[in-house]
């Protein structure tokens, strides 16, 4: 069970003590370093240039590291305003009243599977303002009732004074980091006391943060109901496990190639794929059953947070359950997504990403990418036909080595097989596309190419043959029906052109340089 939540006064005293302790340590070391040249002159009546430079530079590095900085807050996403988002702000107002807290001055939409509150601006918290960030994928994942639970939790950090102490803790942490960075280029010896203090600082402040999370959870349960608070915790953790794979496998390739797909809708589709939902549920169950405390983690394990809520007082929700998706609280989601992505890309691409639906992604996004990859590997695949895949699947590693795809001999067999499946898959996909097969590449789903009722999964074919999910006879039947069984995968994807390009490049390099 968690320890009782420390009082605001107690935490304030501890935060100030840690801050003062750091500066006492820093100034003591600075004083000791500066005393070295002073003692050399006044006591020893000589100067050791090397020792003097070491002391002065070390003292300067520490002083530069501990110098307080003005908190320059950069908006993390498009602002959400009351005028443009009346339903969202009505919910925020309602939760703020329930926890008797003032509204944040600024609310932003962010591309994270998270919601957060902070006090930003000013120096060491003085002159700061309340700021809130709401993750777009979070709004897509949770119901309105679950979102209220999350908001109550975040307002709980205001309620407990956590955000007021945050700037003190964060600034001290940043000062320790800057000092270590400055000293690392000067002296490993001088970094040792700051490393020791920094580790102790993290362990102590993160332990406090974990207690603050328990208190914020308890407030969330009082406002939204115990069951909803627990459900919200599970939903956030589950979706968090799926968000990074979605972002890197679906969104990043689209943005990198000049497209802006619907982010929130894509994540909804991704987590609804049965295989992904099953994997997430399995991972969540493991986390609830076996999650352990990390002394350097700011949040307690999910299992402890759920246990604290379920063994504490049982609360009924203050308002009736609302099962609608929380994304329904936002107006004009498409425009918000445009602004969100524009804030993430370099200036030269801002406002230039082409809107694309997920149904269009196969032809407009992936076909050009696959064509390029298939062409790049065409010489490797020359002479290979789809009918040969059952034989190749019997020894994926040996096949990959013969094709020159294994750069690291220590790479696990699974990784080698995935690389081989991708190379063969891109070539197969282009062969099928050239014969009129339509591409289906929806988020989270296996890529499928379909024509006249025949569906082939080119990127899964080799793996399915290896695992036995697809029999050799079934594969050969698919190839015969598609009319691709004897097609040369390398020649079809431009092996001859690839050799000609390489020859032309080599000839150009051999041309004598003309001096003018």
Does one domain contain both 344 and 369? no
Identify the residue with better confidence: 111 or 1. 111
For residue 437 the two structure tokens come to: 């097969």
Does one domain contain both 336 and 372? no
Cβ burial of 340 (10 Å; 0-12, 13-18, 19+) is buried
Beta bridge partners of residue 438, listed in sequence order: 450
Q: CA torsion, points 11, 15, 16, 20, in degrees to nearest 10? A: 150
**pLDDT reported for residue 167:** 56
Return d(Cα 177, Cα 126) in angstroms, integer.
21
Q: What is the 3-state secondary structure (H, E, C) of 434-502?
A: HCCCEEECCCCCCCEEEECCEEECCCCHHHHHHHCCCCHHHHHHHHHHHCCCCCCHHHHCCHHHHHHHH
**pLDDT reported for residue 389:** 96
| Average pLDDT value over all residues in the chain | 87
Does one domain contain both 153 and 268? yes
C-alpha angle 417/422/425, rounded to 5°? 115
Q: What is the pLDDT of residues 228-249, one digit of tens each?
A: 999 999 999 999 999 999 999 9
Residue 387, pLDDT above cutoff 60: yes
- Work out how many domains the chain is built from and give that number: 2
Does one domain contain both 374 and 270? no
Band of the pLDDT at 359, cuts 50, 70, 90?
A: very high
Per mean pLDDT, which range of 66-80, 243-257, 355-369, 479-493 is the poorest?
66-80
Does residue 146 fall inside a structural domain? yes
Does residue 202 fall inside a structural domain? no
Does residue 298 fall inside a structural domain? yes
Give the helix/strand (H/E) hosting 180: helix 162-184
Beta bridge partners of residue 126, listed in sequence order: 123
Q: Are strands 129-135 and 106-110 parallel, antiparallel or unpaired?
A: parallel
Please, are residues 179 and 194 in contact by the beta-carbon 8 Å criterion?
Answer: yes
**pLDDT reported for residue 174:** 75
Does one domain contain both 340 and 387? no
Return d(Cα 432, Cα 447) in angstroms, integer.
12
Identify the residue with better confidence: 375 or 74. 375
Return d(Cα 381, Cα 72) in angstroms, integer.
54
**Dihedral over Cα of 44, 50, 53, 55: its sign:** negative
Q: What is the pLDDT of residues 55-77, one digit of tens each?
A: 888 888 888 888 877 767 788 89
Return d(Cα 402, Cα 73) in angstroms, integer.
54
Q: What percent of the chain has pLDDT over 70?
A: 90
* Whole-structure pTM value: 0.79
Does one domain contain both 420 and 324? no
Identify the residue with better confidence: 513 or 120. 120
Does one domain contain both 344 and 365? no
Residue 349, pLDDT above cutoff 70: yes
Residue 110, pLDDT above cutoff 60: yes
For 24, 170, 187, 277, the CA distances from 261, given in Å and listed in that order, are: 53, 36, 49, 22
Q: What is the pLDDT of residues 133-156, one digit of tens each?
A: 999 999 999 999 999 999 999 988
Residue 125, pLDDT above cutoff 70: no
Q: Where among 302, 322, 349 does a domain terminate?
A: 349
Collapsing DSSP to helix, strand or coil, 234 comes out as helix
Identify the residue with better confidence: 183 or 300. 300
**pLDDT reported for residue 515:** 40
Residue 477, pLDDT above cutoff 90: yes
Does residue 191 fall inside a structural domain? no
Q: Where among 349, 384, 418 does a domain terminate?
A: 349
**pLDDT reported for residue 516:** 38
Give the helix/strand (H/E) hosting 108: strand 106-110
**pLDDT reported for residue 361:** 95
Does one domain contain both 401 and 494? yes
Please, are residues 229 and 221 in contact by the beta-carbon 8 Å criterion?
Answer: yes
**pLDDT reported for residue 199:** 83
Does one domain contain both 318 and 449? no
Return d(Cα 313, Cα 318) in angstroms, integer.
15
**pLDDT reported for residue 512:** 53
Does one domain contain both 492 and 449? yes
Q: What percent of the chain has pLDDT over 90?
A: 55
Domain with 489, as residue range(s), is 361-499
Does one domain contain both 420 and 332? no
Return d(Cα 382, Cα 2) in angstroms, integer.
63
Return d(Cα 351, Cα 347) in angstroms, integer.
9
Does residue 170 fall inside a structural domain? no
Residue 360, pLDDT above cutoff 60: yes
Return d(Cα 320, Cα 346) in angstroms, integer.
44
Return d(Cα 450, Cα 438) in angstroms, integer.
5
Does one domain contain both 236 and 291? yes
Which DSSP string do the residues of 365-385 spell out, in sequence order?
IIHHHHHHHHHHTHHHHTT--
Residue 267, pLDDT above cutoff 80: yes
Q: Where among 329, 349, 369 does a domain terminate?
A: 349
Does residue 70 fall inside a structural domain? no
Per mean pLDDT, which range of 51-55, 145-149, 395-399, 486-490 is the poorest?
51-55
For residue 57 the two structure tokens come to: 């530079």
Residue 165, pLDDT above cutoff 60: no
Residue 295, pLDDT above cutoff 90: no
Does residue 141 fall inside a structural domain? yes
Find tokens 């062409």 and name the residue.
375
Residue 27, pLDDT above cutoff 50: yes
Does residue 335 fall inside a structural domain? yes
């Amino acid at each position: 069970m968690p320890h009782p939540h420390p009082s605001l006064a107690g935490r304030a005293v501890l935060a100030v003590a840690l801050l003062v302790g750091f500066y006492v340590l820093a100034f003591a070391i600075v004083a000791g370093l500066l005393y070295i040249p002073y003692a050399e002159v006044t006591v020893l009546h000589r100067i050791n240039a090397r020792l003097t430079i070491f002391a002065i530079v070390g003292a300067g590095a520490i002083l530069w590291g501990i110098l307080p900085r003005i908190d320059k807050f950069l908006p993390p996403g498009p602002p959400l305003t009351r005028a443009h988002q009346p339903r969202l702000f009505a919910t925020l107002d309602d939760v703020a009243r329930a926890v008797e807290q003032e509204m944040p001055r600024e609310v932003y939409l962010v591309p994270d599977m998270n919601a957060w509150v902070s006090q930003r601006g000013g120096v060491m918290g003085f002159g700061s303002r309340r700021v809130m960030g709401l993750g777009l994928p979070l709004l897509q994942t949770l119901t309105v009732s679950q979102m209220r639970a999350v908001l109550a939790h975040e307002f709980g950090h205001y309620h407990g004074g956590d955000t007021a102490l945050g700037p003190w803790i964060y600034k001290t942490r940043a000062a320790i980091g800057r000092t270590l960075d400055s000293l690392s280029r000067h002296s490993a010896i001088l970094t040792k006391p700051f490393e020791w203090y920094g580790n102790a600082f993290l362990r102590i402040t993160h332990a406090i943060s974990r207690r603050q999370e328990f208190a914020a959870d308890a407030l969330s349960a009082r406002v939204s109901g115990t069951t909803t608070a627990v459900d919200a915790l599970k939903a956030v953790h589950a979706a968090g496990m799926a968000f990074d794979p979605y972002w890197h496998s679906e969104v990043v390739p689209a943005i990198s190639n000049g497209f802006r797909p619907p982010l929130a809708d894509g994540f909804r589709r991704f987590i609804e794929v049965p295989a992904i939902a099953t994997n997430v549920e399995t991972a969540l169950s493991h986390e609830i059953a076996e999650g352990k405390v990390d002394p350097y983690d700011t949040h307690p394990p999910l299992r402890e947070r759920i246990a604290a809520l379920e063994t504490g007082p049982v609360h009924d929700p203050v308002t009736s359950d609302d099962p609608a998706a929380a994304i329904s609280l936002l107006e004009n989601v498409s425009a918000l997504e445009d602004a969100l992505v524009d804030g993430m890309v370099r200036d030269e691409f801002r406002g230039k990403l082409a809107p694309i639906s997920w149904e269009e992604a196969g032809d407009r996004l992936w076909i050009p990418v696959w064509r390029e990859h298939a062409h790049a590997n065409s010489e490797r695949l020359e002479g290979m036909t789809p009918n040969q895949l059952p034989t190749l699947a019997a020894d994926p590693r040996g096949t990959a080595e013969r094709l020159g795809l294994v750069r690291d001999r220590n790479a696990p067999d699974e990784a080698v097989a995935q690389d081989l499946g991708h190379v063969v898959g891109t070539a197969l996909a282009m062969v099928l596309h050239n014969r009129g097969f339509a591409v289906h590449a929806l988020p989270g789903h296996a890529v499928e190419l379909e024509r006249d009722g025949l569906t082939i999964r080119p990127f899964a074919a080799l793996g399915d043959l290896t695992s036995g999910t697809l029999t050799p006879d079934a594969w050969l039947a698919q190839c015969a029906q598609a009319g691709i069984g004897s097609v040369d995968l390398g020649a079809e994807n431009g092996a001859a052109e690839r050799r000609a390009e390489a020859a032309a490049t080599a000839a150009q390099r051999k041309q004598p340089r003309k001096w003018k």
